[in-house]
Amino acid sequence: MKNNLILASASPRRADLLKQVHIIPDKIIAAEIDESPLKGEVPRDLAMRLAAAKAHAVHEKNPGAFILAADTVVACGRRILPKAENPKDARECLELLSGRRHHVYGGIALLTPQGKLIRKLSDTVVQFKVLQAEEIENYIAGNEWRDKAGGYAIQGLAAAFIKSIRGSYSNVVGLSLYDTMQILNGAGYSAPAK
């Protein structure tokens, strides 16, 4: 019997990552939810809450399928960095991250066809080198930062800024493949044979 899998995400990076491990969702549906942090909410809790909220939002109209959702939160201490929408956001993020370690929290949520919610948090520590003003401006000019949590893409030019990483690389791109496969396999999802 074929399992239907819906990816509750508008992120093309998450779909590409899944394809890397031969998981092709039957549908991709962006969840329409408010992603604002709650008052006093810590970054790791925000990532977990948003992943679950996305899964529930898509599940309402798609019962009987596996719903996979994720959310990525970049944090410097307790400070949650935005998804950069303009050069000012990107510049502020990069200036804050320069020479510092930060956490990338990846919340993953899977709703099974029976309605059981399985959640997992992936935590990756990323160390940036000290960035020169010219490096920041050149990076911003390339537009790679647009709509990226923390204002950078590890899989692009920003790889040159990263001194070290502890944890899942794919989590920083947008989805921890190790954790996702553990959840899918544990829930009884089996990908169609190729």
- Catalytically active residues, by annotation: 71
Residues of 121-137 as b/e, b for ≥16 C-beta within 10 angstroms? bbbbebebeebeeebbe
Three state DSSP letters for 24-80: CCCEECCCCCCCCCCCCCCHHHHHHHHHHHHHHHHHCCCCCCEEEEEEEEEEECCEE
Q: Which of 74, 73, 67, 37 is nearest to 52 (CA)?
A: 67
| Whole-number Å distance between alpha carbons of 144 and 141 | 8
Q: Which of 179, 180, 37, 171 is nearest to 106 (CA)?
A: 171
Q: Which two tokens stand for residue 194?
A: 């190729």
Query: Angle at Cα 34 formed by Cα 33 and Cα 39, nearest 5°?
Result: 145
Bin 133: left if φ > 0, else alpha if -120 < ψ < 50, else beta.
alpha
